[in-house]
Each structure stands twice: as structure tokens, then as C-alpha cells.
Amino acid sequence: NAVPTAEGAVQLAMEKLPITIHGSEVLVLGFGRCGSILAKLLAAMGAKTTVAARRKSQLAMARAWGLSTCSLNNLSLNSFDLIYNSIPALVLTGELLAQTREEVLIIDLASAPGGVDFQAAAQLGREAILALGLPGKVAPVSAGQILSAVVPSLIWELVQSRA
């Protein structure tokens, strides 16, 4: 469900931001299934998109797609209008959130425990949104079709592995 997640994440940003996606400075944390689709969609919309990931292979793929990159170990967050997190581990700590611009919008797409210190974000006055379940909210028919195509094979793989 990476595509409906990415589309829902963009929709949410468009509803919340006072600026366009086009021309905005966007950071995508993580370059897995959701992060990669989201970064590609944002770039196609004209966002100045940067990807941060740990694995060098993911950063190389992002660069091959024409995206800017940086290591998760070397983040500088003061230029971004919008930050998406797709990493299900605490990445945006209070210390890092303090580097962000006051008007930044942070959208966490990661499953529990998520990657944003929401308490620190609130204390700093940063808008941070936990956006779980986007596929079912923004594209329920497509999300259901995707799941119905994938879940039976996942169940079959599980059964086979236990046989």
C-alpha cells in the first residue's frame, strides 16, 4: 500500500501547508517501500526533495533517481518546509527537532513506535502529525484491492514455511 500511503501523505501536506509542494524543501526520512514512492512523487511535483537513509545502497538509488541525499547520521534540518518520516524508530529527537524551522510541518508515516518525539515537537511549537492508516482513509477501494492481491500469497508463504 505504498502508493496510497504516498498519495495520502501528499494530500495531508497540501491541506496543512500554506505553500505549494512545488518549490518546497522536503526531507523524506527512510527510503523503503513508502519512502521511495513518496520521494519520487514529491520530486515529480517539483519539490526539492532530499532523502535521508542509513544504507548506502538506498542513498545510491535515490541519487540515481535525481534526488538529493544525506546520511541519517548527519542531518541538518534548518532548511526544510516539510519533513516526512517513514522509519519505525525514533529518528527525530528533541535535539534534532530544535534545528527545524518554526513553520515546518512534520508528518510521521511510520508504524509504532514511530520516528518523531511528539512531546518535544509540541514543546518546540512544531506541527507534527502521526498519519497512520492513510491507504484506508484516502483510497479504500485501491487499498483493499492491493491487500486482496497480496495477503493470500503471504498466508501461503507462512503455511509453507511451517510445513
DSSP 125: T
Q: What are phi and psi of 127, to 5 degrees?
A: -80, 115
What integer pLDDT is reported at residue 134 of this predicted model?
Answer: 65
What integer pLDDT is reported at residue 139 of this predicted model?
Answer: 64
This prediction's pTM: 0.86
Largest CA distance in the chain: 55
Q: Are 114 and 87 in contact (CB under 8 A)?
A: no
Sign of the Cα pseudo-torsion (152, 155, 161, 163, in order): negative
What integer pLDDT is reported at residue 136 of this predicted model?
Answer: 62
What integer pLDDT is reported at residue 153 of this predicted model?
Answer: 80
For the chain, residues with pLDDT lower than 50 are: none
What integer pLDDT is reported at residue 140 of this predicted model?
Answer: 59
Q: Are 41 and 7 in contact (CB under 8 A)?
A: yes
**pLDDT tens sequence across 25-55:** 999 999 999 999 999 999 999 999 999 999 9
Q: How many CA atoms lie within 13 A of 53 on its CB side?
A: 24
Please tell me the distance from the alpha carbon of residue 149 to that of residue 1, in angstroms, as a whole number. 11
